Structure formats: C-alpha cells, structure tokens
Amino acid sequence: MGCVSWRRPLLVLAIGGLLLQALPAAATPVLRVGLVEGARPCSWREAGVWRGLAVELWVRIAGQAQFPYVLQSWPSTAALLEATERGQVDVAVGCINVSPDRLSRITFSLPFQEDGLAVMVASSRFDLGRAFLSSLFGPLLLQLLGGFLLVIAALGLLLWKLETYRDHPDTVAHGRRRSFSKLFQILATGPGSNTISTTSRGQAIVIVAYLVRIVSSSLLVGYLTVNVVRETQGKTMGHLRSITDLQGQRVAVRPGSVSEALLQDLNARATGAPVVIRRVFSLDVALERLERNQLDAVLADNLQLMDLVLRRPRGRLVPSLVLQGIHPESQAFAFGPDLPAASAERIDLAISTLKRSGVVSELREQMGLSDRSEP
C-alpha cells in the first residue's frame, strides 16, 4: 500500500507535464493580420477575396510556418501602421516601405523586395503625336540622312568616272542627268547594283556603297528606337526633371504615405512656391482627377503606379511615369508589439526561404510586372 501511495502522485505529475508540453502547440494564437484595401498590386479585395502580391506572399508564409490567422481591413497604410503600433494588429501585410521614421517606431520583418517612388502625369494623344513628330524630324535625323545621301552621291560620281558613263550608250540616249540619277538610285537602294559596273574598281565602289547602306540603316534604327522615344518622353514630361520640379504643382498622394512625407519635407525646405498636396485614398481616383485636369501629377510607389498604367483602359489621355526610382527603400511586413519573438523569427525564416526560391519574382511576373530588384 505504501508503494502505491507514492507512485500515484508521480503518475499525476508525469501526465500533467505531458499536457503542459502539448498545450502551446494546441493553443497556437490566431494572428491578427492587417491589410490595406485598394492598394494594388500589393493588396486589394475582389468579390470578397483578398488578392495581391503581398497577400499571396503571406498565404505562402502562413502555410509554411503553419500560422492560423484572421484578416482585418484598414483604409490606409498609415491607419494600419498606427493600429500595429498600438497592438491591434499582429502582422501588417503589404508592400510597406521601411522608412527611417517608421523603423524608429515599429519592428519590421525581413525585407522581401525594394522599390522606389515614381511620378505619374497624363498627356493627350495629340500631345504625344506632336512630340513624336517633332523628335522624328529633328536636326539629328536630317544630318544622318544628309550624310548618307552625300556619301552615295560621291560614290556615284566616282563610279561614273571609273566606268566612263559619260560615253555610255544609255547616257547618250537619255542624257547625263537621267543616267546619273539612275546610277545614284541603284547605289542608294541596292537592287540592280550587279549591272552598273564591269571593272574591278567599279565593283569595289559598289561594295563600299553596300557597307554605307548597312551602317546608315543601323544608325537610323538606333536613332528611331532610342533617341526619338527618349526625346518624346522628355517633351511630354515638360519641365519635370527631378522631385524639386513638383514645387507649385498639384500633386496627389495617399495620406500617411512616404510620398506625403517626402512632399512635406520638400515644402519645409522650399524657397519657391510649395507643392499643393492633394490627399486621396485611391490611386484610381487620383488618375481620374489627373485626367480631368484637377491634378498635375501623382506621387506614389513605382510598383503601384506601374500596375495602374498597365491596367488603365485606353482613353483620350495617356498616363505615363516620368520619374522613377525616387528614394528607393526596402519593403517588408510590420510586426505588432505583442507578436511573440519566436513567431517573428519563423516569419523571417519563411520570407528568406521564399525569396531564395524566387517566389517574389514569380509573383511579380504573374501580375505582369517586371522584376526590378530583390534584396
């Protein structure tokens, strides 16, 4: 009986220890995950279903780390970060810029990508066509064409002399001017060049004319594909060459965003007219106001504006990004103060694993966005 009396408490303690070990795994807390609605392409809701690059990334992280979670919607990034700082949200999911001001107040996850700001303006198709024609018929194109014609004319005169076209029967029958025009046309275009020379020196002139056509064609293609496009973009940009050129203009930003902070800092240091800051909760609304001439420009994350331009239906005005890569910063998820350190480490580990396997690049490609950089 004495033996039984001391074995029973030990059995109870052993069972209790096993229950305590199993309790944390069975009682894993449900994470409160905050999202910003209407923040394409990172997070938005469609037919009640959350979509976006950041959303898909979080779904894979939660599946890999086996986190139960519940999604919460917030109207803006600023509101989401304030809720996260107060402990109302455990993980803020989105393409959240890790700015110095935010980093001093909030703990962030391992960055999953890097992106900068961009400026979007809208130009009419008439303005784009006029700028294109102005660039197309610029002085450089005329110089290229003029140089090509002068070289061909010089080669034609040399061939005329070497082949003694002055005494040729066709020259006597049709006149020197018409015969030289025919010779010039053949050297400039190519077809028929095998019939205009009989001497070895004349054939050498024909080969030189062929090389001149090749080089000239390459220069013209390069001019049309690079210089004309660049000059057209520069003319539609107007005087926007840097972020300081936004002074005195009406610029839309999302409230509480890094873009708004940048313009506020610019106004604090400006010596001229300040930027007129227009706060909008949706970039789609900003684009509509831009097209109605209620705004001059929109400043936001490059990735968001790129997505907006790509999915915008064709209209009278054409939106374009005139300044890109402004103040690039890392983007990550934000952690609430009550998130356990072990959970934060598991999220960072999952992000590192998914980045190494190219998941972020894959998600960007699925949404039609070229992968710019991935830290």
DSSP string of 284-296? HHHHHHHHTTS-S
Query: What amino acid is encoded at 84 in this protein?
Result: T
What tokens appear for 106 in the block? Answer: 């909030």
**What is the pLDDT, as a whole number, of residue 239?**
60
CA angle 309, 312, 313 (to 5 degrees): 140
Give residue for tokens 């506020």: 264
Counting every residue written for the chain, the total comes to: 375
Greatest CA span in the chain, whole angstroms? Answer: 140
Convert 187-214 to b/e letters by CB count within 10 Å (16 or more is b).
bbeeeebeebbeeeebbebbeebeebbe
**What is the pLDDT, as a whole number, of residue 226?**
62
**What is the pLDDT, as a whole number, of residue 370?**
57
Within the chain, where are the H helices? 2-26, 53-65, 77-86, 100-103, 125-136, 139-162, 169-174, 176-189, 200-222, 228-237, 258-269, 283-291, 302-311, 341-356, 359-366
Domain boundaries, the chain: 2-114+330-366, 121-125+238-328, 133-237
Return d(Cα 71, Cα 187) in angstroms, integer.
72
Rounded to two decimals, the pTM is 0.63
**What is the pLDDT, as a whole number, of residue 18?**
43
Same fold across 2-114+330-366 and 121-125+238-328: yes
Cα–Cα distances (Å) from 315 to 24, 25, 144, 152, in that order, read: 57, 56, 36, 45
DSSP 314: P
Region of 327 please: left (phi>0), alpha (psi -120 to 50) or beta: left
CATH architecture for residues 121-125+238-328: 3-Layer(aba) Sandwich (3.40)
Cα–Cα distances (Å) from 256 to 98, 231, 259, 370, in that order, read: 13, 35, 8, 27
**What is the pLDDT, as a whole number, of residue 293?**
85
Question: How many other C-beta atoms are found inside a 10 Å radius of the C-beta of residue 80?
Answer: 26
Question: How many other C-beta atoms are found inside a 10 Å radius of the C-beta of residue 8?
Answer: 10
Name residues whose C-beta falls within 8 Å of residue 299's C-beta, 6 or more positions apart in sequence.
117, 118, 119, 120, 246, 251, 252, 253, 259, 262, 263
CATH topology of domain 2-114+330-366: D-Maltodextrin-Binding Protein; domain 2 (3.40.190)
Question: How many other C-beta atoms are found inside a 10 Å radius of the C-beta of residue 282?
Answer: 15
CA-based nearest residue to 193, from 156, 158, 157: 156
What tokens appear for 8 in the block? Answer: 């029973």
Cβ pair 245, 251 in contact under 8 A: no
Mean pLDDT in consecutive groups of 10 residues from the start of the chain, 375 residues: 43 41 54 92 90 94 93 92 96 94 93 91 62 62 84 89 80 81 86 82 88 86 63 54 86 90 90 90 87 89 88 72 86 95 94 90 78 43
Return d(Cα 224, Cα 130) in angstroms, integer.
15
Convert 293-330 to b/e letters by CB count within 10 Å (16 or more is b).
eebbbbbbbbbbbbbbeeeeeeeebbbbbbbbebebbb
Give residue for tokens 């700015």: 99
Return d(Cα 153, Cα 180) in angstroms, integer.
9
